[in-house]
Structure 1
Amino acid sequence: MKDMPTAAAIMPPEPRDYHGVNWAGFRTLYLREIRRFWKVGTQTLAAPVVTALLYMMVFVVAAQGARTPVHGVAFATFVAPGLIMMQILNNAFSNSSSSLLQAKMNGLTGDFLTPPLTPIEQVAAFALGAATRGVVVGAVTWLAILPFAHLPIAHLWAVLYFGVGAAMILGMLGVMAGLWAEKFDHMSAVTNFIIMPMTFLSGTFYLVERLPEPFRSASHYNPFFYLIDGFRYGFIGHAEGSLGAGVGMTAGLVVAFFFTCLWMFETGYKLKT
């Protein structure tokens, strides 16, 4: 009888109590998101670069000499920042949206709901993971485009602010879409009817001021216009729209989307049903 374990000896260990931020859990979830896209680099890194180069071939190289300078710079220099931003937007959105939708469809949401992670840590990990993919793809695209377009940096702060801001905005938009969607058809609808039209109708390949009304005025209500315009300003030193409005809108969307994602995780929106 004396060799039998006491009740205290067979009690399970107390759960670890995290005071403040669970940095270990946050870092693990963030690295998981990074490794997801890094593991399939051919699809997530090489493919966007090839797409951007094809756009350069169609819009710039094939029409070389036929395009007049825009704002005092070569047409290739004008288009290149828009192509880089387009890859940042699309890839940041794809990373977080596909991660959450696949987890829901495969019944793997417990992988990030069960660990002792707060909703803030979960939102931050998914958003930063998506933003990292967007920034990395943007940087690789930039390097690939350099042989075809001279890209001087006129204002480094604008390149960094709008590049990282756009990646964060689309990363959190991807979180919202991934939580809302119930199947891949829903995600395709968001991509094809919202993300892609807003990207192409934001002045990526043309001057918005040359559009006829009401399309010219409507373009100034497109958030992507200010992201691309501000990002392009960082390279060529000229902005079509209000730079102050772009700076404020970018910060406002980051804050608004963060709290929306936070609410969705706190309430378990389409995660705990």
Structure 2
Amino acid sequence: MIAPLRQPPSFVPWLPFITLLKKEVLRFLRVSFQTLLAPIVTASLYLFVFGATLGERLSVVEGFSYAQFVVPGLVLMGVISNSFANTSSSVFISRYLGNFVDLLVTPITGWQFILAYTLAAMLRGLLVGSAVWGISTLFVDLPWSHPLAALLMAAMASFLFAQFGLIAAIHANTMDALSMFNNFLILPLIYLGGVFYPVSILPPLWARLSRFNPLLYLIDGFRQAILGVGDVPLLQAFAVTSLLALTLFGWAALLIGRGYKLRT
């Protein structure tokens, strides 16, 4: 269990948190070609395919081109993938190298630990998402029907997957096990969550099954905040996302509070 030690009179309570946050931000900035540029280039290729080639030739939602439809999903996919990758890789590598024990003896509380990793992951995820949106302006114009709701949904998605990254890194024993969370859980749920198609065009059975995909509410809520149309009511999307984020935060806090698998 991570607990503060007895401090000298000159101790600054927030100094360990600020130090850990700075360390996590510098960690991904120092390898920015891998952590920032690579996902931006990947998303740019999607944007080129759907924006410059298919974007104006297809339409799956009345009143919007296919490029306009798909851009919000690509932006959120960048936010989700990079928020998860930041916390999962950092915590797992620290555990693997054995230097995570050093954090356990520092005067930092469990919630400060989670907050530092989460804020760094959110910064990376939102930077990538913002860059993808910036590049998308070369191909399409988005109406931004509810800009504050869109920003809040992106922040909630980033927060949610930062928590999931912590949980995955704690439970995974090998790099292969960690990659399975992304390859066999996150990516399939993203692709089946309506990034490239609205669930309303699916056959009734598959449309109903899609409602059990939690990422549908993230992606559709974000798209609806931008375009003004969606398959799920915006309030319902926020409610499901908030519930899932709080659940994962509680799970991560429980694991870290107990020091589960963090000392080995």
The bucket for the TM-score relative to the shorter chain is over 0.9
2:24 partner amino acid: E
RMSD over aligned Cα atoms: 1.7
1:16 partner amino acid: P
- The residue aligned with 2:205 is 214
- The residue aligned with 2:94 is 103
- Match for residue 129 of structure 1 among 113, 120, 126: 120
Instruction: Compute the displacement of 1:17 (Å).
Output: 6.3
- The residue aligned with 1:16 is 8
- The residue aligned with 1:52 is 43
What is the CA–CA distance in structure 1 between the aligned matches of 2:115 and 2:61, rounded to whole Å?
A: 39
Deviations 1:197-218 (A, max 9, x none): 0011110011111112422111
What is the CA–CA distance in structure 2 between the aligned matches of 1:213 and 1:175, rounded to whole Å?
A: 36
1:270 counterpart SS class: coil
- The residue aligned with 1:180 is 171
Q: After TM superposition, which residue ranges in structure 1, 4 or more long, deviate above 4 angstroms?
A: none
- Match for residue 159 of structure 1 among 135, 150, 161: 150
The answer on 1:234 being equivalent to 2:247 is no
1:32 counterpart SS class: helix
Deviations 1:174-211 (A, max 9, x none): 00001111110001111111010001111001111111
Deviations 1:35-64 (A, max 9, x none): 111111111111111111111222332224
The answer on 1:203 being equivalent to 2:194 is yes
- The residue aligned with 2:25 is 34
2:8 partner amino acid: R
The answer on 1:251 being equivalent to 2:242 is yes
What is the CA–CA distance in structure 2 between the aligned matches of 1:226 and 1:155, rounded to whole Å?
A: 16
Instruction: Compute the displacement of 1:251 (Å).
Output: 1.5
2:82–2:124 Cα contact (<8 Å) kept? yes
What is the CA–CA distance in structure 1 between the aligned matches of 2:22 and 2:205, rounded to whole Å?
A: 45
Give the greater-gyration-radius structure (CA).
Answer: 1
1:88 partner amino acid: V
Instruction: Compute the displacement of 1:100 (Å).
Output: 0.5
Q: Which moved more, 1:89-98 or 1:211-220?
A: 211-220
What is the CA–CA distance in structure 2 between the aligned matches of 1:107 and 1:142, rounded to whole Å?
A: 38
What is the CA–CA distance in structure 1 between the aligned matches of 2:74 and 2:239, rounded to whole Å?
A: 23
What is the CA–CA distance in structure 1 between the aligned matches of 2:243 and 2:16, rounded to whole Å?
A: 28
Instruction: Compute the displacement of 1:70 (Å).
Output: 1.8
Instruction: Compute the displacement of 1:73 (Å).
Output: 1.4
Instruction: Compute the displacement of 1:248 (Å).
Output: 0.9
The answer on 1:77 being equivalent to 2:68 is yes
The count of aligned residue pairs is 259
What is the CA–CA distance in structure 2 between the aligned matches of 1:65 and 1:140, rounded to whole Å?
A: 22
- For the structure 1 residues 64 and 162, does the alpha-carbon distance in structure 2 shift closer, same or farther, using more than 3 Å as the test? closer
- For the structure 1 residues 134 and 64, does the alpha-carbon distance in structure 2 shift closer, same or farther, using more than 3 Å as the test? closer
2:199–2:207 Cα contact (<8 Å) kept? yes
What is the CA–CA distance in structure 1 between the aligned matches of 2:56 and 2:127, rounded to whole Å?
A: 32
Instruction: Compute the displacement of 1:102 (Å).
Output: 0.3
What is the CA–CA distance in structure 2 between the aligned matches of 1:49 and 1:99, rounded to whole Å?
A: 20
1:158–1:233 Cα contact (<8 Å) kept? no
- The residue aligned with 1:6 is none
- For the structure 1 residues 153 and 18, does the alpha-carbon distance in structure 2 shift closer, same or farther, using more than 3 Å as the test? farther
- For the structure 1 residues 252 and 111, does the alpha-carbon distance in structure 2 shift closer, same or farther, using more than 3 Å as the test? same
Identity %: 36
Instruction: Compute the displacement of 1:131 (Å).
Output: 1.2
Instruction: Compute the displacement of 1:15 (Å).
Output: 3.6
1:192 partner amino acid: N
In the superposition, the TM-score normalised over structure 2's length comes to 0.93
- The residue aligned with 1:139 is 130
1:23 partner amino acid: W
1:214 counterpart SS class: helix
Instruction: Compute the displacement of 1:18 (Å).
Output: 9.1
